[in-house]
């Protein structure tokens, strides 16, 4: 069996049903054998989007997504998408073509050192220089991608290796990977700390979602009567309508979440790495606060400056042990009553009927049509923050966004990947007019694959998030952020064979959402939104409570926009 055929056969045995890719000279052998494979190939219009689609597929299913590109520029185009998946611990198998083994290092046509390029943005890297290495690369690669802290694995495939024979006996070999490190020696101390806590709180990140630990998070919170706050990657770990769920924490997070975190005496951090966008200034946490940090990655576990107990291992398994150790539910406490009081204060009225349309209204109407079979993806920028702050989701796979890498153009291709994985779900991408223009060409892919995703474009004529920074912290010196001469998005969508409509009045939103969902084709909704509406509250990077810009938020505003601007040093 030649290498290309062996590659696809092994992927079939691993349960792979789809590859998102773009062909080239060094991968033509693989594409020839795809004609006889059970694996479906989705032809993207740009390789970066192939990675984003594989990523969206992975986040919607929990299984590794697979993408494929040719050597040189095809491989380098994948890099941003692979780095996005790596930052958010999304499992992928990244396949790249390569020049023949004899030509590697000779500056051959379309040669790039993809092995080195992928090294810092993957869990593991294989350079296959002999056809006999193909089975190990695929089997071990898939195991690495989905074991421990998940992430992308890259395999570089020279074209001559894809034509060489793979020894048949190797096709049935097993290539196990070591079990991830586990250290629960502090479990008993953790249970004691939680039982003795007067103000316990759960801070939950994306690691708990990849572990499918949602039921355990909810159970533990209910036993302790402890509030749950999440990073943006942990959003949806428990239903956000749950009385103990306070919502996201961070630069644009909910004020009730931040205040609860600062008032807690014991914080159980689960599958979160205390990033600068979740906790803008770790020194803000009081010295008396005790942190129990649970993470599957031993490098991340214990990074919090106030960590008292470090636990390394699977979140689901660890939380089950904690639940067993705690046993009975606590009774209602002054802390639980305090949380419900402050939570009421953090209930914004976002049913705003103004013209131009308020971004909050876009989210309000969208929230009304969410079901258990709705998946929301987002681009990056103000649109992402409006959605993460105000949209209340019901399950861990319902909200898909680029967190750690903050990649513009992620949401639309990720929506296509998620829709391929969940054809019975409604998939909606919330986009900005800047981000969607980076990937608009993928409407051709969505139409060609008959994947009726809905794209809601918050069109305010600006690169809104950067403009907001310039407005609040750079004395309104706007540079490079106005989007002049935007195209007619609806006409452009129709040119690709999709459908769309322009919305200029808030009263049109509800009906347009229904029309888009029922259309049965990829559909773009171009919403004219207010360019002067900022995503607030907002905390400057590295700043504390004294630098919160609150705007319309019901909490007392510590600094006005003008005061915040004057504080810039």
* 373-387 residue pLDDT tens: 999 999 999 999 999
Mean pLDDT of 257-270: 94
Contact 87, 405 (CB under 8 A): yes
567: pLDDT confidence band, cut at 50, 70 and 90? very low
Flag whether pLDDT at 291 surpasses 90: yes
pLDDT in tens, 147-173: 999 999 999 999 999 999 999 999 999
- At residue 206, what are phi and psi to the nearest 5 degrees? -65, -25
pLDDT in tens, 404-449: 999 999 999 999 999 999 999 999 999 999 999 999 999 999 999 9
Tokens representing 468?
């907001």
Same domain, 329 and 296: yes
pLDDT at 566: 36
pLDDT at 553: 67
Tokens representing 344?
């009421």
Flag whether pLDDT at 547 surpasses 60: yes
> Exposed e or buried b for every residue in 105-135, given b needs 16+ CB within 10 A?
eeebebbbebbebbeebbbbbbbbeebbbbb
Contact 289, 263 (CB under 8 A): no
Phi/psi-derived region of residue 110, left when phi > 0, alpha when psi is between -120 and 50, beta in every other case: left
CA distance 477 to 309: 46
70: pLDDT confidence band, cut at 50, 70 and 90? very high
What single DSSP character describes residue 64? Answer: -
CA distance 138 to 115: 16
pLDDT at 559: 38
Same domain, 424 and 503: yes
User: Which of 446, 432, 459, 454 has the alpha carbon at shortest distance from 516?
Assistant: 454
Residue 133 lies in a domain: yes
Same domain, 9 and 147: yes
**Average pLDDT over the chain, rounded to whole?**
93
List the strands of the sheet with 65-69, edge to edge: 40-43, 18-21, 65-69, 92-98, 152-158, 124-127
Contact 473, 565 (CB under 8 A): yes
- Spell out where 381-498 has E strands: 399-400, 426-432, 454-459
Tokens representing 294?
């649970």
Tokens representing 552?
């319309």
Same domain, 324 and 438: no
Residue 539 lies in a domain: no
Cis peptide preceding 241, ω within 30 of 0? no
Contact 497, 519 (CB under 8 A): no
Percent of the chain with pLDDT over 90: 86
Cis peptide preceding 537, ω within 30 of 0? yes
346: pLDDT confidence band, cut at 50, 70 and 90? confident
What CATH number is given to the structural domain containing 456? Answer: 3.40.50.970
CA distance 110 to 112: 7
CA distance 284 to 261: 10
pLDDT at 544: 64
Same domain, 524 and 376: yes
* Pairing of the two strands 290-295 and 266-270: parallel
Contact 279, 234 (CB under 8 A): no
Flag whether pLDDT at 557 surpasses 80: no
CA distance 150 to 297: 10
pLDDT at 561: 36
Per the model's pLDDT, the better-predicted residue between 302 and 48 turns out to be 48
132: pLDDT confidence band, cut at 50, 70 and 90? very high
pLDDT at 92: 98
- Range in 72-81, 126-135, 499-508, 553-562 the model is least confident about: 553-562
Contact 82, 51 (CB under 8 A): yes
281: pLDDT confidence band, cut at 50, 70 and 90? low
Same domain, 201 and 336: yes
pLDDT at 546: 62
pLDDT at 430: 98
pLDDT at 558: 41
- At residue 185, what are phi and psi to the nearest 5 degrees? -65, -20
CA distance 426 to 454: 8
Residue 567 lies in a domain: no
Same domain, 192 and 335: yes
Question: No. of H helices and E strands in the chain?
Answer: 22, 20
Per the model's pLDDT, the better-predicted residue between 275 and 557 turns out to be 275
Q: Which domain holds residue 91?
A: 3-172
Contact 498, 326 (CB under 8 A): no
Residue 537 lies in a domain: no
Q: What is the dihedral of CA 558, 561, 563, 565, to 10 degrees?
A: 130
Mean pLDDT of 513-534: 97
pLDDT at 197: 96
What is the total count of domains within the chain? Answer: 3
pLDDT in tens, 309-320: 999 999 999 999
Same domain, 338 and 363: no
Residue 47 lies in a domain: yes
Cis peptide preceding 393, ω within 30 of 0? no
> Exposed e or buried b for every residue in 233-260, given b needs 16+ CB within 10 A?
bbbbbbbbebebbbbbbbbbbbbbbbbb
Last residue of a domain, one of 512, 528, 544: 528
Residue 181 lies in a domain: no
What CATH number is given to the structural domain containing 287? Answer: 3.40.50.1220
pLDDT at 279: 77
Q: What is the 3-state secondary structure (H, E, C) of 313-343?
A: CCHHHHHHHHHHHHCCCCCCCHHHHHHHHHH
255: pLDDT confidence band, cut at 50, 70 and 90? confident
563: pLDDT confidence band, cut at 50, 70 and 90? very low
- Range in 142-151, 278-287, 422-431 the model is least confident about: 278-287
pLDDT at 562: 36
Same domain, 140 and 208: no
pLDDT at 554: 63
pLDDT in tens, 331-340: 889 999 999 8
Specify which residues 454 forms β-bridges with: 428, 523
Mean pLDDT of 13-35: 98
Angle at Cα 356 formed by Cα 353 and Cα 361, nearest 5°? 40
Residue 544 lies in a domain: no
Same domain, 372 and 295: no
* Pairing of the two strands 454-459 and 426-432: parallel
CA distance 142 to 148: 12
Looking up tokens 């919305």 gives 503
CA distance 175 to 73: 31
Same domain, 366 and 416: yes
543: pLDDT confidence band, cut at 50, 70 and 90? low
Mean pLDDT of 55-64: 98
Same domain, 157 and 16: yes
């Amino acid at each position: 069996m030649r290498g290309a055929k062996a590659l696809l056969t092994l992927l079939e045995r691993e349960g792979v049903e789809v590859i998102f890719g773009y062909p080239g000279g060094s991968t033509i052998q693989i594409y020839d054998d795809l004609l006889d494979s059970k694996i479906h190939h989705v032809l993207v219009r740009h390789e970066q989007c192939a990675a984003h689609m594989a990523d969206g597929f992975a986040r919607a299913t929990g299984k590794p997504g697979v993408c494929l590109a040719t050597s040189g520029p095809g491989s380098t185009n994948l890099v941003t998408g692979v780095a996005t998946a790596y930052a958010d611990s999304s499992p992928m198998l990244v396949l790249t073509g390569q020049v023949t083994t004899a030509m590697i290092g000779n500056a051959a046509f379309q040669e790039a050192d993809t092995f080195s390029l992928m090294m810092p943005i993957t869990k593991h890297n294989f350079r296959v220089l002999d056809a006999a290495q193909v089975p190990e690369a695929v089997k071990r690669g898939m195991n690495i991608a989905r074991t421990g802290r998940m992430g992308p694995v890259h395999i570089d495939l020279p074209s001559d290796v894809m034509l060489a024979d793979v020894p048949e006996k190797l096709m049935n070999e097993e290539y196990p990977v070591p079990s991830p490190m586990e250290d629960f020696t502090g479990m008993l101390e953790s249970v004691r700390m939680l039982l003795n806590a007067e103000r316990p709180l759960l801070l939950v990140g994306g690691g708990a979602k990849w572990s499918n630990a949602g039921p355990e998070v909810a159970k533990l919170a209910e036993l302790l009567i402890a509030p749950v706050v999440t990073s943006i990657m942990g959003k949806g770990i428990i239903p956000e309508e749950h009385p103990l769920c306070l919502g996201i924490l961070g630069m644009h997070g909910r004020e009730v979440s931040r205040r609860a975190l600062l008032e807690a005496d014991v914080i159980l951090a689960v599958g979160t790495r205390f990033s600068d966008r979740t906790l803008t200034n770790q020194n803000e946490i009081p010295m008396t606060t005790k942190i129990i940090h649970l993470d599957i990655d031993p490098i991340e576990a214990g990074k919090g400056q106030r960590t008292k107990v470090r636990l390394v291992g699977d979140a689901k398994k660890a939380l089950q042990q904690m639940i067993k150790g705690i046993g009975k539910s606590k009774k209602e406490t002054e802390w639980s009553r305090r949380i419900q009081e402050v939570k009421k204060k953090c209930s914004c009225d976002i049913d705003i009927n103004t013209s131009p349309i308020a971004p909050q209204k876009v989210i309000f109407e969208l929230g009304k049509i969410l079901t258990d079979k709705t998946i929301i993806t987002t681009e990056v920028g103000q649109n992402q923050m409006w959605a993460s702050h105000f949209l209340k989701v019901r399950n861990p796979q319902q909200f898909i966004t680029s967190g750690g890498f903050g990649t513009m153009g992620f949401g639309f291709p990720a929506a296509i990947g998620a829709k391929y994985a969940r054809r019975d779900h409604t998939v909606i991408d919330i986009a900005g007019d800047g981000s969607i223009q980076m990937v608009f060409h993928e409407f051709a892919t969505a139409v060609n694959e008959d994947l009726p995703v809905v794209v809601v474009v918050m069109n305010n004529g600006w690169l809104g998030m950067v403009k907001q920074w310039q407005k609040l912290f750079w004395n309104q010196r706007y540079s490079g952020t106005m989007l002049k001469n935007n195209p007619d998005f609806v006409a452009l969508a129709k040119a690709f064979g999709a459908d769309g409509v322009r919305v200029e009045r808030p009263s049109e939103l509800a009906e347009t959402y229904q029309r888009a969902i029922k259309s049965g084709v990829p559909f773009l909704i171009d919403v004219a939104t207010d360019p002067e509406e900022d995503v607030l509250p907002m905390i400057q990077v590295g700043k504390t409570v004294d630098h919160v810009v609150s705007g319309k938020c019901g909490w007392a505003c510590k600094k006005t926009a003008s005061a915040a601007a004057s504080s810039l040093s």
